[in-house]
Structure 1
Amino acid sequence: MFNRYAKALTLRQEESQLRSPRTYTPIDATHVMYEGSTYLMMASNNYLGLTHHPHVKERSLQAIQQYGTGSGGARLTSGSFPLFQELEARLAQWKECEKALTFTAGFMANLGTISALVNKGDIIFSDELNHASLIDGCRLSGAKVQVYPHRDVHALEPLLAEPMHYGMRFIITDGVFSMDGDIAPLPELLELAERYDALLIVDDAHATGVIGEGRGTAHHFHCESPRIITTGTMSKALGSIGGYVCGSQTIIDYIINHSRPFIFATALSPADIGASLGALEVLAQEPRVYQNLRSNTEYMHKALHSLGIPSSDETPIFPIIIGSNEGTLEASRLCEQEGIILSAIRPPTVPINTGRLRLTVTASHTKAELQKVIQVLQRLPIQKTL
């Protein structure tokens, strides 16, 4: 009965692609305990280090004290409570849009938004490096999907210009791409959306708190349009859990009434909402947190550049390309021996022969810690093209 699954696991093992979660005990925003030793965490999406910020923790505890530990059900069934309205109003304000709606996770926000807005008979134009949640949302919609080369607006335009045999057009892209750290060309995409009457869905999971003074991709490029629908998560820079979608009131009201992942899923817990509110308050009241992230990002970029390792200072995501699966696993093990956690990222998460260490810096890392990482990277077999 289980031969199919056992064979698939054996194949993963032979291809150096077998995965299993490691159990770390967090110490603070940048350090973990593993098997009795302390390690420097350089593989986290906790970009602003807010998981351990006193105000974020206090807001979470306050929410538990007032509202208990769980939401009790789906919001259209069991009702909502004031924290939801507070968080969604603050998200809408932060993202400079009319209205926001929360989901239980960023993955669910993408599934729920795309499957609600896009119908069979529509057509989607999707960046080839989009996150799995966007890809799955496109599949779930039943629409025709055309994948365009990564960030290539010149290749996208002729696809949009083809005679229309479908309902509505949608352009879907990550704002910041999670494995490469590059940013979608939003102004050009918005121009194409306006020219060819398309809606533009942007996943800001790795952009919120990271670019545009923390407000995300649209703010980074000073783009404003009712055509832009932004999804994202509170689980990365905001140090909590949960997803969201922001857009016009019409769009959000439609999603409330048509999104199965919203209608049928139990809502976020009070603790999660409280932590997310606390994180947004920190971003608004303590700009130095965002400034620290920018400073550390620029520091790491300059250090990698001096070693001949390709990098950008746009985001705190630095792909350290190794190549083979075996080499990537060995590089990760060597980092661990030096007290640094740098996870091995392999296919199918990234294209074949582009195995990498996905290095991420946070606002809470010290320059001394970043320098230690650089010293270790100097000894690894890294692909250098500068």
Structure 2
Amino acid sequence: MKIDFAKLTYQYNLYKNEIDKAIQHVLNHGKYIMGPEINELEEKLCEFTSAKNAITCASGTDALLLAMMALDIKPGDEIITTPFTFIATAETIALLGAKPVFVDIDEKTYNIDVSKIEEKITSKTKGIISVSLYGQPSDLDAINEIAKKYNLFHIVDGAQSFGATYKGKAEVHYCDIYTTSFFPAKPLGCYGDGGAVLTNNDELAEKIKMLRVHGQNKRYNHKYIGINARMDTIQATILNIKLRHYPEDLKKRQQIAEKYTELLNSSTHPLILPFTKDDRTSAWAQYSIRVKNRDEIQAKLKEKGIPTAIHYPMPLHLQECFKYLGYKEGDFPVAERVSKEIISLPMNPYLSDEEIEYIKEALIGDK
């Protein structure tokens, strides 16, 4: 058996007629940048999340950049975040001349350890970026309490969590700005790069709309220094189709995660399985387990036609590009330990019971 990690082609074939027709419609009208499908998608994103505003953009990275630009982040400002995430979270902070200040992670959820945030706050701290790693929200209420106490903003980097909930609601309702990514392999992905910024703050939303088009408030009039961060219309029309099917995809992801957990829990093999807190749901961007002998496990699964991935093999504080921050090995022991043990198994809405059983057998055999 050969297993496809994300089954993107399989999904395209499921919706092929709808998607092809929608793309052809864009090709026919020729409005490839900021065409009518962009506005349609933004309205649908608001409807899906109950957010007041959704602004599409060219990538999840641009979404983070736009969020911080809208909040007037300047050189020398400090922003607290996690070292166990994709580099875009901290890279965008650095791009604006601000300083990423890292806080270790919770050993069970792999999200930022809220109990360690307050000790890192200084007079230069302007905000907190929490990351909903692998699709599960952080402890948003607790983060907001700290943010309110110190007059800080809170951005949720939800690049992996679109569709997740916290206490029954979308994450956008627990932060100043929520950002997400529509990279093809995300739970809701387009066929290239894409992202969105969601907020209930109308003033911030208007500013973000201008910032994504070179700070322009009307043609050739520029209120702000901005960037070119527009989503192209073809990506929007693809997402409009996929969003129709997304609630069902989320249900299937949850069922597959439960099936994995049920099968792997039945083993005495020393695996650490994903943990989701009771007051939230995960979008299950990944199903990531921890093992002590990762290289051996990865090689064994590869031999049996089972792809795996490592999200993420090196915490950000140890990356060469952040050497100037002065961190060293041992500064964030939980993130460092998890990065050496984490491994993601195939996860998509279309994994069959037979495939999951096959992965389980390859991973732990009859133990």
- TM beyond 0.5: yes
Alignment of 1:70-89 (within 5 A): 80-89=34-43
Give the aligned partner of residue 228 of structure 1. Answer: 176
Partner of 2:189, secondary structure, is coil
Q: Is the 8 A contact 2:76 2:98 kept in 1?
A: yes
| Offset, 1:139 | 0.5
Corresponding residue to 2:119 among 158, 167, 177: 158
The amino acid that maps onto 1:363 is: P
| Root mean square deviation, CA, Å | 3.3
Partner of 2:2, secondary structure, is strand
Q: Could you tell me how far apart the structure 2 residues matched to 1:288 and 1:83 are? A: 22
Give the aligned partner of residue 320 of structure 1. Answer: 289
- Equivalent residues, number: 315
Q: Is the 8 A contact 1:115 1:137 kept in 2?
A: no
Length-normalised TM-score, structure 1: 0.71
| Offset, 1:373 | 0.4
Q: Is the 8 A contact 1:50 1:239 kept in 2?
A: no
Q: Could you tell me how far apart the structure 2 residues matched to 1:340 and 1:195 are? A: 48
Partner of 2:117, secondary structure, is helix
Give the aligned partner of residue 302 of structure 2. Answer: 336
Give the aligned partner of residue 64 of structure 1. Answer: 23
Q: Is the 8 A contact 2:83 2:104 kept in 1?
A: yes
Q: Could you tell me how far apart the structure 1 residues matched to 2:59 and 2:29 are? A: 15
Between the two proteins, what is the percent identity of the paired residues?
A: 19
Q: Could you tell me how far apart the structure 2 residues matched to 1:344 and 1:223 are? A: 28
Give per-residue Cα distances to partners, 1:108-144, cap 9 Å, x unaligned.
Answer: 2223333453222433111222321111011012123
Residue 276 to residue 321, structure 1, CA distance change in 2 (3 Å) = same
Alignment of 1:1-386 (within 5 A): 39-42=2-5, 44=6, 50-54=11-15, 57-68=16-27, 80-117=34-71, 118-150=73-105, 151-160=112-121, 162=122, 164=123, 166=124, 169-175=126-132, 177-178=133-134, 183-209=137-163, 211-212=164-165, 217=166, 219=168, 224-225=173-174, 227-235=175-183, 236-240=186-190, 241=192, 242-247=194-199, 248-259=201-212, 264-265=227-228, 267-283=230-246, 287-307=247-267, 308-312=270-274, 314=276, 315=282, 316=284, 317-323=286-292, 328=295, 330-343=296-309, 347-348=313-314, 351=336, 354-378=340-364
Q: Could you tell me how far apart the structure 1 residues matched to 2:7 and 2:143 are? A: 26
Give per-residue Cα distances to partners, 1:168-226, cap 9 Å, x unaligned.
Answer: 72110112x13xx65411121122222222211111121113x32xxxx575577735x
Q: Is the 8 A contact 1:186 1:218 kept in 2?
A: no
Give per-residue Cα distances to partners, 1:29-60, cap 9 Å, x unaligned.
Answer: xxxxxxxxx62123x396xx744432xx3443
| Offset, 1:273 | 1.1
Deviates more, 1:289-298 or 1:314-323: 314-323
The amino acid that maps onto 1:172 is: I
Give per-residue Cα distances to partners, 1:261-291, cap 9 Å, x unaligned.
Answer: 89543743333211111122223xxx44332
Q: Could you tell me how far apart the structure 1 residues matched to 2:85 and 2:249 are? A: 28
| Offset, 1:357 | 2.8
Q: Is the 8 A contact 1:318 1:360 kept in 2?
A: yes
Question: Unpaired runs of 5+ in structure 2?
Answer: 106-111, 216-225, 277-281, 316-334
Length-normalised TM-score, structure 2: 0.74
Q: Could you tell me how far apart the structure 1 residues matched to 2:313 and 2:252 are? A: 32
Give per-residue Cα distances to partners, 1:336-372, cap 9 Å, x unaligned.
Answer: 2212222356733684771543114222111121111
Partner of 1:231, secondary structure, is strand
Partner of 2:3, secondary structure, is strand
The amino acid that maps onto 2:263 is: A
Residue 126 to residue 200, structure 1, CA distance change in 2 (3 Å) = same
Q: Is the 8 A contact 2:43 2:54 kept in 1?
A: yes
Q: Could you tell me how far apart the structure 1 residues matched to 2:264 and 2:214 are? A: 42
The amino acid that maps onto 1:365 is: L
Residue 107 to residue 219, structure 1, CA distance change in 2 (3 Å) = farther
| Offset, 1:302 | 2.2
The amino acid that maps onto 2:126 is: R
Partner of 1:230, secondary structure, is strand
Partner of 2:143, secondary structure, is helix
The amino acid that maps onto 1:258 is: L
Q: Could you tell me how far apart the structure 1 residues matched to 2:354 and 2:214 are? A: 44
Residue 356 to residue 222, structure 1, CA distance change in 2 (3 Å) = closer
Residue 251 to residue 344, structure 1, CA distance change in 2 (3 Å) = closer
The amino acid that maps onto 2:138 is: A
Give per-residue Cα distances to partners, 1:298-347, cap 9 Å, x unaligned.
Answer: 111122222241113534333333457xx52x433321221222235673
